[in-house]
A = this chain, B = another copy of it.
Amino acid sequence: LLTPAQLSRLRVVLCSTRNPLNIGAAARAMTNFGFRELRIVTPYAPAFREARSAVGASHLLANAKQYDTVAEAVADGTLVVGTTAVRKRQLQHSLRRLEDGARLIRKRLSAGPVALLFGSEKFGLTNEELSHANWLIRIPTVEANISMNLGQAVAICLYELIRDPKAARLVEKAQSPSAAEIDRVTSMLLEALSLSGFLGRRHVADSKQRIRRLVRRLGIPARDSTIWLGMLRQILWKLNSDSNNVLGARD
């Protein structure tokens, strides 16, 4: 849904992050979803160095910019959104659930840069950091466990921004076999059931219809019809040769 231009307009701003693994995780989620601009505000210096030098650290992380203040990091943003785990922090800002906030952010990304702020692992965004935000979003966690891992929180926010409510249309279904192939499977199964005596114990016409419906309900994928036919063919061969042997033995 987001165009490359819109993706490039989001600034993920990590404030006071301590753990280098979290800086790396944020960068990784950004590359997974096509975002580009990571900004780090007064990181615990060794954490940033360590994250940057980590094995597999991305181009994105290497290009992350470091800022001394939130004001500088969000200066080009036409909208600044803070993230919080807390529900009612005296409501100095409007607080939206992520589902709704992401919708608004997507709209604003069409027009100009949007900064999305994440606070430190332990305390979240400070009041000073929050004062730069226009409004806040929260991920809808359960009341008893509101504190999320930072890397996971970043990943979920970015996912919500790129998710496509119309994705149902994009299902890649395993191809279905043709009706003719299904008919071949049905015929062979019927023959095997007949030879094995299964159909002999029932009224045949009705049973055949039932078996036909049973096979169609299986939903055999196209790629599997050949192997099913092969298995049935082998079973039929064995059933036929056994009954011939039995007949032969009677002679």
Asked if B152 and A99 sit within 8 Å, CB to CB, the answer is no
Chain B residues contacting A196 (CB-CB under 8 Å) are: none
Closest CB in chain B relative to A200 CB, distance in Å: 34
Can you name the residue of chain B whose Cβ is closest to the Cβ of A164? B99
Asked if A25 and B149 sit within 8 Å, CB to CB, the answer is yes
Interface string of A97-139 (1 = CB under 8 A from B): 1111001000000000000000000000000000000000001
Stoichiometry, as copies per complex, reads 2
Task: For the complex, give the distance between the alpha carbons of A104 and B169 in Å.
Answer: 14
Interface residues on A, range: 35 or more
Task: For the complex, give the distance between the alpha carbons of A139 and B33 in Å.
Answer: 10
Chain B residues contacting A98 (CB-CB under 8 Å) are: 163, 167
Residues of A near any B CB (own CB < 8 A): 21, 25, 28-29, 31-34, 87-88, 90-100, 103, 139-142, 144-149, 151-152, 155-156, 159-160, 162-165, 167-168, 170-175, 221, 223
